[in-house]
Amino acid sequence: MINATQIRKGMVLDMNGVLFRVLEANYVNPGNWKGMVHTRLRNLTDQSIQDHRFRSEDRVEQAYLEEAEMEFLFQSGEEYVFMNRETFDQVGFPRDVLGDGVFYLVPNIVFIAEFHQGRPIGIRPPLTVELKVVQTEPFLKGATQSASNKPAVLETGLQVSVPQFIKEGDLIRLDTRENSYIERAKSA
């Protein structure tokens, strides 16, 4: 059990047997009232999102998660197959467990998979990934040299904003926490 003031983004809480992932957590202390923690939670059973307010003196149970490095292998229908890098066991993850991580699935990429009592509940992609640009507007020669960006569609379907000099076929490095462009990657 932890105090409500220790709740942080990314934690998984066990509330009456139901698992919730913390999407946002903000501590507020409104004047002469007692402090409270405003949270936005995702129910890991039905993927619904709800807001919940904890009093600062409330205690909540943090779920114990097992973690394993898993390598993405392939997609089979609505299931995404990963291989445990230590035991070589293959595990299928449904789309709803992957969430936004599905936008980083290219063969042989390594994720941290989270399990609760043997059941997969989520994945964490690496901090940076390299993906190929498959569609973007061409570079305009007379365009201003300011930091203007343009939209680009990547090989996994993710749409991000990239600098003007990026063209179709370029390999770019992304920050997976914010879905943002970092730099052009070196081609192999």
**pLDDT (tens place) for every residue of the chain, 188 residues total:** 888 889 998 888 999 889 998 889 999 888 778 889 999 998 888 878 999 999 888 999 998 889 999 999 888 888 888 999 899 989 888 887 787 788 888 888 899 988 888 888 888 888 999 999 999 888 666 555 556 788 999 988 889 999 888 888 889 999 988 888 988 887 65
The topology (CATH level 3) of 2-62 is SH3 type barrels. (2.30.30)
- Say which residue the tokens 């989520």 belong to: 122
Q: What is the predicted pLDDT for the residue at 64?
A: 87
Q: Are 79 and 94 in contact (CB under 8 A)?
A: yes
CATH 2.40.50.140 is the classification of domain 128-184? yes
Q: Are 165 and 139 in contact (CB under 8 A)?
A: yes
The tokens for 133 are 């640009």
Sequence ranges of the domains in the chain: 2-62, 69-124, 128-184
Q: CA 18, 21, 23 angle in degrees (round to 5)?
A: 145
Q: What is the predicted pLDDT for the residue at 47?
A: 79
Residue in 62, 63, 23 with CA at minimum distance from that of residue 42: 23
Residue type, 59: R
Give pTM, 2 decimals. Answer: 0.71
Using DSSP's 3-state secondary structure scheme, residue 39 falls into: strand
| Domains 69-124 and 128-184 agree in fold | yes
How far apart (Å, rounded) are the C-alpha atoms in residues 124 and 67?
Answer: 10
CATH 2.40.50.140 is the classification of domain 69-124? yes
